[in-house]
Structure 1
């Protein structure tokens, strides 16, 4: 009887444990099987062809429309200086007078000789009319008179070299001479620049040559005037491409009525390209991994794939897609950092206002301002 009693006690101890196990098993049968991976919540947009304006960026240097260094033609002492540094002068304004006492005396003698030659010629012409002298004698006197007159013109020209004039209207720089200074041919007296309008010369890569045309709009900015934008136009495209840099020099013409652009200034130039139709996506949708550039394109069934693309220019948060997408494609704009190819997505619920960079229909908003195109690479995510 003892063994039976032992088994009965053991059975009583095991029964509650079995009951708990059975309840646990029953409870697990009531729960749903484990769910698969949840869909990623993202924001998408449908892309379409839009009017697109972009720019070609370049750095240029300001050059005066006309620019010279005023020098003397002769060796002489400065008599008077008729300008102040920084003064605006008109064409033919006398800038410097050089001493010319010796030339003045020579001019007086030459004029006297020319006057005497005129009298002799008139006298001999009367005699020749009366056939009192030969025609050959009259011709000789005519030559002497012409020589005397030429001598007067020569001395007057030498005196003219003593008056140094402005060959065109402009602004003089800092004067380098003073009265009493001895100047020689080539001695710098002052600079003269016509900056009522200026040229800005810049280079453009050979690959952009087909996008250049005379008359295109240029926008220029300078670090000296960060709040101003200067507008000009393409004036000349060089006939040659530099074989060393594979770039062509372009000259832009910029009006400068207030004379704020100075020769030698560095200007950031944006060349406005003609408006065209292009596929545009928000820049945050573009992912760069090494040399690969792609976006996440949404397929049927809300599954995403990596679509390799080639990016053209970028404008204020938007990017032009040159290759890889077609109008009507749906891409992921926000939330790309948590995606992998083949994942399912779920469209995020939108609030009352439009999403950044998108309109109410989920299309990319094209800004009014433009900036220069950037390389294809952008940070991922």
Structure 2
């Protein structure tokens, strides 16, 4: 074989190798693309919702289905902010038919939702016969202890170094320093050395002074 013929053969061989490598790369891309068309659940469960259509192109990370994992059923609760991030460990779930199921806390979010100001919590249903998946149930939880005392908002006197209320003792006024925990248009919740059943002045605190004699009248 002449030198020229050998060079042509080498050139054809290199071209064939390049074509083979290109074809193999296209095969790998096709296999990858085929793999993207298959969705595999990480665990066994029940498909609750499907939000995509066959042939639809979805973005990376876009949810296309909701899967309820096999195992103990749970109920999700949006807890009011007064529960904080430490809700009750146990409670009850009441189904639409009136049946009561004990529940146990599994997880709770570490921060309140910035819009609803609620904490998302999940409770495990402690029963062998739970309500059907997707059911709406009523959850009954022990209420957190209420801190402080509720007084009319007009009882708060802030003329001094801090907030105070005026307590009536034996017909005379006594200033009681308090910490205002919360307040709305009608009432305030305060913390301070008050006792159940004690009376405080509800209005006109801006004219009161220590030891002033007052007379209580029934409404």
More strand by share: 1
- Which structure's CA Rg is the greater one? 1
**TM-score, with normalisation over the residues of structure 2?**
0.44
Higher relative contact order (CA 8 A, sep 6+): 1
**TM-score, with normalisation over the residues of structure 1?**
0.29
